[in-house]
Amino acid sequence: MEDKQLHLQQYFSPVSADEWEAEVERVLKGRKAATLQKSLYEGLTQQPLYHQADDTLSPDTAFANAGFSRSVAAFERRQAGWDIRQVYDSGALEQVAEAIATDIQRGVNSLWLVPGWAATHPSSLGAGGLVLQRLDGLRSLLKDVNLAETPISLAAGTALLPSLVWLTEAANDKGVSPSSLMGSVYVDPIGMLASHGELPHGLESAWSELALGLKWREQHQAELDLWSASGLVFHDAGASAAQELAFILASAVETLRQMEQRGADLTKVAAAGFAQVGVGRHMFVEMAKVRALRMLWAKVMKACGVDAAHHPVFVHAVTSRVTTAQRDPWVNFLRNTAECFSAVTGGADAVTITPFERALGVPGELGLRMAVKTQLVLEKESHLSRVVDPAAGSWYVESMTDSLAREAWALFQTIEGQGGIVSCLREGSVHEWIAEVVAQKNKNSSKRKAPVLGVSEYANLEEEALKRPSWPDGPSEDPGFSGDLVHHLAEESDVAATMDALTQASQQGASVAALEAALHPEGAADSVEPLPVYRWAAAWEALREAVDAFAEKHGNAPSVFLANLGSIPEHKARAGFAQRFFAAGGVTSVSNDGFTDMDALAQAYAESGANGLVICGTDEAYVEQVESLMAAIKTHRPTFVALAGRPGEHEETWTNAGVTHYLYLGCDALSVLQSLHRALGVTA
């Protein structure tokens, strides 16, 4: 059947920007559309309306997107569907091998293996990595995997050559040559340094291994990617979208620079690299981030003399660990779905969904299954792979893509001006930039302008806690090895001899730590202040944990009496607000149908056994009854008395009468609840 072109504009009369503005003002009852502007963490302003009059998208812009999101190559990749990549970074090897076999049957396209020597933030994010202490461990893990058909993405940390040897040996057992392997065995030295704060053998050793690995790749005509410019560590620390992009670019440029200094062909270096990016909570910003990444990568490669059109960046997107919550973890399903949607519509080539219960401990079968099924539903049922760059033409997304690219490029130039990403890590500039964003995120979270559903908003105090096994400790490896491994990178010219020595030692039982120690006997350690891990829900969940400890010690959780004034219609809105407010802090509410007699209200409070009360009613009722209520309640000595609403001009009077806290939209809810906890004797 012949495709027909649709010209939708013929069905609609043209509408000018002024007409749109007038319609918005009508809906807002006279308020200007500009009052809906919103500041983003990138330093950008989100406009309420985007339209063709915006002049930021001229064809001459330095960040023109054509060719990198809507190319023929992009069309071919999208029609084939994206790569559903499952992560494996913990668990007994036998169980992981079974999970891998099951996941491949479910529809997983590639396997992301993270061994202990390559795990980032092992103590903070839980997973200490797969315990692969010997070559036989990897062989066992991949025993049922067809390595000629299933791409493997093996995180190498900084241990590229030992990791390469192990994967190629496992493949050799199956009759698969290095040139037939798909995926990557990749190093991320900068990410490892930023995460752990120290590289025992130093960056120079890591760069030397990568240079040797590139020679090996060329000799074996291998297609494996060997390095990653990753934004994941920075994303996990709380970086903004623009910052994450800038750090990815800076990491890529540092890698290219180091390889060029070692005589490598930059075109071949670029062909062996890919980008990793975290995908967070703001759907359209994250969509624009992935789109902007392609543009920026192409711009960097062009500046380095690499034909970007023939080497488009492979983007591996990972749903955010920053946004996951421990309380009401089922909401993480929704977060994962939205983040996956952003990644796919932004043009990611591979997507990994973080199992929904990861923040609680080792993911179970349900989490692993849903991480795959969610993507299958989006691909097979929602048909997200049928359209190339579906956000194209949206003035909002196009403008956001361009603005993000410009902000990221400006920060990237600042980083380069300060000596590069490594220098900025050593000097603490990266930490300071991210800390500024985190402070703003914390402010918005505290005021619930950026609520965490199920935690800071609509918390369910009746939920049955989901339990998961604690993360096991990472593997402890003794770098000592009695075998004869004397060849090291001082003799870089002989790639084959180095790899043969590593292979022989691996077959004799050497661990990766032992191999690295032998390769770099004089490697000088590099160290920086490690980046912290940020999670939106953490501060709020600390309140709930403190209440749980209080309840376990005292036999019951603290409670608040809803001092409802008047009829249900008169107090319902503020009573509901107050109930949700206190629930976010783990404090249960004692409700009622309302009171007109303040003495009766005071008596009901005394009989409730609640620790304090919150006054809920209309502004008129407050003016008439707050002072009389405070007089009636005084003899019962409540621990606190809160009022739902802004006090306005009555604040001094009501505070003098005994009101201790005021609850309203936009107040610092986290600080108020922390203050109430202190008054109640609830401590973390």
- For the stretch 471-512, pLDDT in tens is 776 555 554 554 455 444 444 458 888 899 999 999 999 999
**For 569-613, what is each residue's pLDDT tens digit?**
999 999 999 999 999 999 999 999 999 999 999 999 999 999 999
Task: Return the pLDDT at 435.
Answer: 97
Confidence of residue 60 (pLDDT cuts 50, 70, 90): very low
Most confident of 10-14, 117-121, 510-514, 544-548: 544-548
Confidence of residue 349 (pLDDT cuts 50, 70, 90): very high
Q: Bridge partners of 39?
A: 45
Task: Return the pLDDT at 485.
Answer: 55
- Is the pLDDT at 58 greater than 50? The verdict is no
Which residues touch 379 (CB under 8 Å, ≥6 apart)? 81, 82, 84, 344, 385
Taking the C-alpha atoms of residue 625 and residue 631, their distance in angstroms, rounded to an integer, is 10
Rounded mean pLDDT of 318-327? 95
User: What phi-psi label fits residue 88: left (phi over 0), alpha (psi between -120 and 50 degrees) or beta?
Assistant: beta
**For 202-230, what is each residue's pLDDT tens digit?**
999 999 999 999 999 999 999 999 999 99
Task: Return the pLDDT at 32.
Answer: 87
- Is the pLDDT at 296 greater than 90? The verdict is yes
Task: Return the pLDDT at 2.
Answer: 58
Taking the C-alpha atoms of residue 280 and residue 476, their distance in angstroms, rounded to an integer, is 33
Confidence of residue 66 (pLDDT cuts 50, 70, 90): very low
User: What phi-psi label fits residue 235: left (phi over 0), alpha (psi between -120 and 50 degrees) or beta?
Assistant: alpha
- Is the pLDDT at 126 greater than 60? The verdict is no
380: nearest Cα among 136, 635, 84: 84
Confidence of residue 386 (pLDDT cuts 50, 70, 90): confident
- Is the pLDDT at 454 greater than 90? The verdict is yes
Q: Do the bridges between strand 83-88 and strand 559-564 make them parallel or antiparallel, or are there none, so unpaired?
A: unpaired
- Range in 73-82, 149-158, 506-515 the model is least confident about: 73-82
Name the residue with higher pLDDT: 400 or 68. Answer: 400
- Is the pLDDT at 74 greater than 80? The verdict is no
Task: Return the pLDDT at 649.
Answer: 96
Task: Return the pLDDT at 68.
Answer: 54
Rounded mean pLDDT of 625-648? 95
- Is the pLDDT at 433 greater than 60? The verdict is yes
Which residues touch 17 (CB under 8 Å, ≥6 apart)? 49, 51, 52, 53
Task: Return the pLDDT at 63.
Answer: 47
Rounded mean pLDDT of 372-396? 89
pTM of the model: 0.92
Task: Return the pLDDT at 308.
Answer: 77
Backbone angles phi, psi at 351, to 5 degrees: -130, 130
- Range in 117-131, 213-227, 293-307 the model is least confident about: 117-131
- CA torsion through residues 569, 575, 576, 577, sign: positive
From the CB of residue 484, how many other CB atoms can be counted at a distance below 10 Å?
Answer: 11
Confidence of residue 43 (pLDDT cuts 50, 70, 90): confident
Task: Return the pLDDT at 653.
Answer: 96
- Is the pLDDT at 31 greater than 50? The verdict is yes
Percent of the chain having pLDDT more than 90? Answer: 73
**For 232-271, what is each residue's pLDDT tens digit?**
999 999 999 999 999 999 999 999 999 999 999 999 999 9
Task: Return the pLDDT at 14.
Answer: 82
Taking the C-alpha atoms of residue 498 and residue 515, their distance in angstroms, rounded to an integer, is 11
Task: Return the pLDDT at 684.
Answer: 65
| Helices 538-554 & 669-680 angle (0-180, nearest 10) | 20
- Is the pLDDT at 62 greater than 50? The verdict is no
Percent of the chain having pLDDT more than 70? Answer: 91
- Is the pLDDT at 338 greater than 90? The verdict is yes
Task: Return the pLDDT at 127.
Answer: 58
Mean pLDDT of the chain: 89
- Is the pLDDT at 61 greater than 70? The verdict is no
**For 154-203, what is each residue's pLDDT tens digit?**
999 999 999 999 999 999 999 999 999 999 999 999 999 999 999 999 99
Taking the C-alpha atoms of residue 128 and residue 392, their distance in angstroms, rounded to an integer, is 40
- Range in 92-101, 309-318, 373-382, 634-643 the model is least confident about: 309-318
- Contacts within 8 Å (CB) and 24+ apart, 302-310: 304/253, 304/256, 304/266, 304/270, 305/266, 305/267, 306/266, 306/267, 306/270, 307/267, 308/68, 309/67, 309/71
